[in-house]
Amino acid sequence: MESVRQGEHFLTTGHLVTWLKTYQPDWLAEYMSSKPTDERAYKSLPLPANTTSVLQPLDVGVMGPFKSMCRTEWIKEGKVVTAAEKRLAMIKRAMKVWDDMKEDTVRKSFEKALNIFEV
């Protein structure tokens, strides 16, 4: 590995791949042949129309109210200037809103999606 790192004090994925290609090509070829190609790995299909609330209950029942509450908190806050302050304010805002989110909100979104009355 020392020859691959070229004096750097850290090891990255790129270093490991270079080492495998150089010193373990047979093993790497065998390993990669067992992996699916991109065409077989996944299929992207659109959701049928008007099924978001059923197929993605957290999107509708939780994330919608969460984003709305985040916007409300953002409006209440004073302006922040630097990028670091903005990131910190966003994190604190999200934590406050999540703490204020009721457990019942999550439960009800699943009950509605699954059409049941008790989870």
Domain span at residue 19?
A: 2-41
Q: How far apart are CA 79 and CA 68, in angstroms?
A: 19
User: CB under 8 Å to 26, separation ≥6 — which residues?
Assistant: none
Domain membership flag for residue 119: no
Tell whether 26 and 56 lie within a shared domain. Answer: no
Closest CA to 53 of 115, 97, 11, 8: 115
Reference 90, options 58, 67, 106; nearest CA is: 67
Answer yes or no: do 104 and 56 share one domain: yes
Per-residue pLDDT of the chain (119 residues; tens, 9 = 90+): 556 556 666 778 887 888 889 989 999 888 888 877 766 667 778 888 888 777 787 887 888 899 999 999 999 988 888 999 999 999 999 999 999 998 888 888 878 777 755 54
Reference 64, options 101, 28, 32; nearest CA is: 101
> Is residue 89 located within the same domain as residue 58?
yes
> Is residue 17 situated within a structural domain?
yes
Same-domain pairing of 76 and 108 = yes
Q: Give the DSSP letter of residue 119.
A: -
